[in-house]
């Protein structure tokens, strides 16, 4: 659009009426651009004088270019200026003064007595037409009757306010309206005085005031001052109760009886909770609720009774708080099981129930423990039990207790046989296990001590010279067997061999079963082919015409059907899959 406009203006003849000429800005060379940037830097540093606009005013060199440069649609031929940023007098609207406001309830003209030409045919007002009339449509309009002519509405002119006028919250306020509030308070004071005067008259008529005057306390003036102060306090209480809702603000608790305001703020002299321990790994401080539940001096090793502040939970979980919480939990559990108890409604009943429940619970635990010991035994081991307490640090070092806990096992430990002083497996050499006390590699052998060590080193030079362990061990284990047991084992071995031979020999029954399986497999293959054809036809149909549950079966397939499915299934990785249909 800019280039087109330039062409039209430039094509205007010299003697034409269009005397505004817009020239296209020339393209700056690289040297001119460099000089311009250097001049801007010098102006910012103060080494060169600031640029002057057309009005002779200096332009701040730190003002961004998008503010100081004139937009192209205003006048691109002019040099940088700030005139376009200042208010333009020709564009300024005439604003209304701050004292003007919308008039309310004003009738400018008197009510007409006869119908005027051009007025509303329904009500007779001159300020609107019949279609815009807001009154109830009359059976016969004011045009024909000439009665009940409605007054003309006041046509409020449009008020144009400036920035401050739009935001003036008191603009249009009438100070005379405040007199209503003053009159209300004066009426309340007058009513209080009349009530006091009536009470005094009643006391004088009944004679109570004379008794108070004749009393000895009245001689010192005490009664009069007390009664006066009581009346004053009563009136103040009434006023505070009246405006107590307005005084109750967030962060404050107002009590009309005690006439005090309690702020939920700490005293300035107290140490802030987050300043008690500056260690980042200490107790967490919540700045929103100003709560520090844990003890800030826990890592310092100080006793909670010695420090001035040990966390919010320290106060919360002291005294009867824990017992109260346990009682409340018992009340909830009892209510779920059908007992109608409540902590606030029936505290005595709940306390008695809780005490009886604890006694019954302890008795039940004792009975259960005794029944288990009677059934499975182990009462003799209760007194022999010992628990070793060990406390470790986060690095694994022992803080309290024994240094190394003994590993317990359900098997018997350190049990030696055949005069051995070490167990089997305590000695190992060249891939063989043995006894450390005699260097014997034969299990269940008799210990020979140091003599056995010397014989073992002199006789068995290599592992191949050592006697085989398995036959000797089997001989040792079979020495205790009788001839009857050996005979029974031989008979069992012979029966096993006969069964294996019978399994290997072909039978007529097995041949018949194989034929039946072969026939079932043939039927399953034919059925699978028919199913594949049916699926192919269904898949060619449109989805909207396909029958419901056509691809779904609830019957569990047999082994033959599964085998036929595996045989007929086409695998994409099979190189001969393309030749199966031929």
Give how far Cα 483 sits from Cα of 134, 220, 472, Å. 129, 131, 19
Residue with tokens 């140490």: 271
CA dist., res. 441 & res. 444, Å (int): 10
Instruction: Report pLDDT for 455.
Output: 82
Instruction: Report pLDDT for 190.
Output: 93
CA dist., res. 155 & res. 206, Å (int): 67
- The values of phi and psi at residue 100, to 5°, are -80, 145
Residue with tokens 């059925």: 527
Picking from 30, 34, 40, 6, the residue whose alpha carbon sits closest to that of residue 20 is 6
At residue 217, the 3 state secondary structure works out as helix
Q: How many helices (H) and strands (E) does the chain have?
A: 18, 8
CA dist., res. 565 & res. 570, Å (int): 10
The encoded tokens of residue 503 equal: 């399994």
Picking from 428, 431, 434, the residue whose alpha carbon sits closest to that of residue 464 is 431
Residue with tokens 């305590």: 426
At a CB cut-off of 8 Å and minimum separation 6, what does 99 contact? 171
CA dist., res. 1 & res. 229, Å (int): 88
- Can you say whether residue 414 is alpha, beta or left, with left for phi > 0 and alpha for psi between -120 and 50 degrees? left
Instruction: Report pLDDT for 132.
Output: 92
CB atoms within 10 A of CB 178: 10
Which value, in Å, is the radius of gyration of the alpha carbons in the chain?
56
Picking from 459, 438, 439, 440, the residue whose alpha carbon sits closest to that of residue 449 is 438
Instruction: Report pLDDT for 5.
Output: 37
CA dist., res. 301 & res. 279, Å (int): 14
- The values of phi and psi at residue 14, to 5°, are -65, -35
Instruction: State if pTM tops 0.85.
Output: no
Instruction: Report pLDDT for 339.
Output: 84
Each residue's pLDDT expressed in tens, for the chain with a length of 582 residues: 333 333 333 333 344 444 444 455 567 799 999 998 999 999 999 899 988 887 788 888 898 888 877 777 776 666 677 777 777 776 666 667 767 888 776 666 677 888 999 999 999 998 899 999 999 999 999 999 988 899 888 877 788 888 888 888 888 888 888 999 999 999 999 999 999 899 888 888 887 666 665 655 445 445 445 555 555 555 555 555 555 454 444 445 555 555 555 555 667 777 888 888 888 888 889 888 888 888 888 877 777 777 888 888 877 777 787 888 889 999 998 888 888 888 888 889 999 999 999 999 999 999 999 898 888 877 766 665 566 677 778 877 777 776 555 666 666 777 788 888 888 888 888 888 888 888 888 888 888 888 888 887 776 554 444 444 444 444 444 445 666 778 788 888 888 887 776 665 555 566 778 888 888 888 888 888 888 888 888 888 777 777 776 666 667 888 888 888 888 877 777 776 666 654
CA dist., res. 138 & res. 144, Å (int): 11
Is-contact 127 153, C-beta < 8 A? yes
Burial of 310 (0-12, 13-18, 19+ CB in 10 A): buried
Q: What is the DSSP string of 56-84?
A: SPEEPTTS-HHHHSPPTTT-TTSPP-SGG
Instruction: Report pLDDT for 213.
Output: 55
Give how far Cα 318 sits from Cα of 283, 297, 358, Å. 19, 18, 22
Instruction: Report pLDDT for 420.
Output: 87
Burial of 127 (0-12, 13-18, 19+ CB in 10 A): middle
At residue 303, the 3 state secondary structure works out as coil
CA dist., res. 372 & res. 366, Å (int): 10
CA dist., res. 49 & res. 45, Å (int): 10
Is-contact 123 135, C-beta < 8 A? yes
Instruction: Report pLDDT for 472.
Output: 43
| DSSP state, residue 283 | -
CA dist., res. 283 & res. 297, Å (int): 8
Instruction: Report pLDDT for 462.
Output: 47
Burial of 435 (0-12, 13-18, 19+ CB in 10 A): buried
At a CB cut-off of 8 Å and minimum separation 6, what does 185 contact? none
């Amino acid at each position: 659009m800019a280039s087109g406009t330039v062409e039209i203006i430039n094509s205007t003849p010299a003697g034409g009426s269009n005397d505004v000429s817009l020239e296209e800005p020339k393209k700056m060379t690289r040297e001119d651009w460099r000089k311009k940037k250097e001049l801007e830097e010098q102006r910012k540093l103060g080494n060169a004088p600031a640029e002057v606009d057309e009005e002779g005013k200096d332009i701040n060199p730190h003002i961004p270019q998008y503010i100081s440069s004139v937009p192209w649609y205003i006048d691109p031929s002019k040099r940088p200026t700030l005139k376009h940023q200042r208010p333009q007098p020709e564009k300024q609207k005439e604003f209304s003064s701050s004292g003007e406001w919308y008039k309310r309830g004003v009738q400018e003209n008197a009510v007409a007595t006869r119908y005027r030409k051009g007025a509303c045919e329904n009500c007779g007002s001159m300020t609107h037409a019949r279609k815009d009339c807001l009154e109830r449509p009359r059976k016969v309009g004011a045009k024909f009757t000439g009665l009940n002519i409605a007054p003309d509405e006041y046509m409020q002119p449009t008020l144009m306010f400036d920035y401050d006028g739009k935001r003036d919250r008191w603009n249009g306020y009438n100070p005379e309206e405040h007199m209503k509030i003053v009159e209300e308070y004066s009426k309340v004071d007058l009513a209080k005085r009349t009530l006091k005067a009536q009470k005094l008259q009643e006391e004088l008529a009944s004679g109570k005031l004379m008794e108070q005057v004749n009393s000895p306390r009245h001689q010192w003036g005490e009664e009069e001052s007390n009664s006066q102060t009581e009346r004053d306090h009563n009136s103040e209480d009434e006023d505070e109760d009246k405006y107590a809702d307005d005084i109750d603000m967030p962060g404050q608790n107002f009590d009309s009886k005690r006439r005090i305001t309690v702020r939920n703020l700490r005293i300035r002299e107290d140490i802030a909770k987050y300043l008690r321990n500056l260690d980042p790994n200490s107790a967490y401080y919540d700045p929103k609720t100003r709560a520090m539940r844990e003890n800030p001096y826990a890592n310092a090793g100080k006793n909670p009774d010695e420090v001035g502040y040990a966390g919010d939970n320290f106060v919360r979980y002291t005294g009867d708080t824990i017992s109260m919480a346990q009682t409340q939990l018992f009340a909830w559990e009892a209510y779920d099981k059908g007992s109608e108890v409540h902590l606030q409604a029936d505290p005595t009943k709940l306390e008695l129930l809780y005490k009886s429940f604890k006694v019954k619970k302890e008795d039940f635990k004792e009975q259960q423990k005794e029944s288990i010991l009677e059934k499975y035994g182990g009462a003799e081991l209760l007194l022999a039990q010992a628990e070793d307490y060990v406390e470790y640090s986060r690095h694994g070092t022992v803080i309290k207790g024994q240094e190394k806990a003994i590993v317990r096992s359900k098997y018997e430990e350190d049990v030696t046989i055949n005069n051995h002083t070490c167990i089997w497996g305590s000695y190992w050499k060249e891939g063989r296990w043995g006894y450390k006390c005699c260097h014997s590699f034969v299990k269940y052998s008799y210990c020979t001590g140091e003599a056995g060590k010397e014989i073992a080193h002199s006789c068995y030079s290599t592992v191949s010279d050592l006697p085989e362990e398995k036959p000797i061990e089997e001989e040792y284990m079979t020495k205790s067997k009788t001839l009857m047991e050996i005979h029974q084992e031989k008979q069992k071995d012979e029966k096993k061999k006969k069964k294996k031979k019978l399994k290997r020999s072909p039978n007529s029954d097995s041949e018949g079963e194989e034929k039946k399986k072969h026939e079932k497999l043939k039927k399953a293959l034919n059925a699978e082919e028919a199913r594949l054809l049916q699926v192919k036809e269904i898949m060619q149909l449109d989805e909207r015409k396909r029958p419901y549950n056509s691809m779904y079966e609830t019957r569990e397939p047999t082994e033959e059907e599964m085998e036929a499915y595996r045989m007929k299934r086409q695998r994409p990785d099979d190189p001969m899959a393309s030749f199966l249909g031929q």
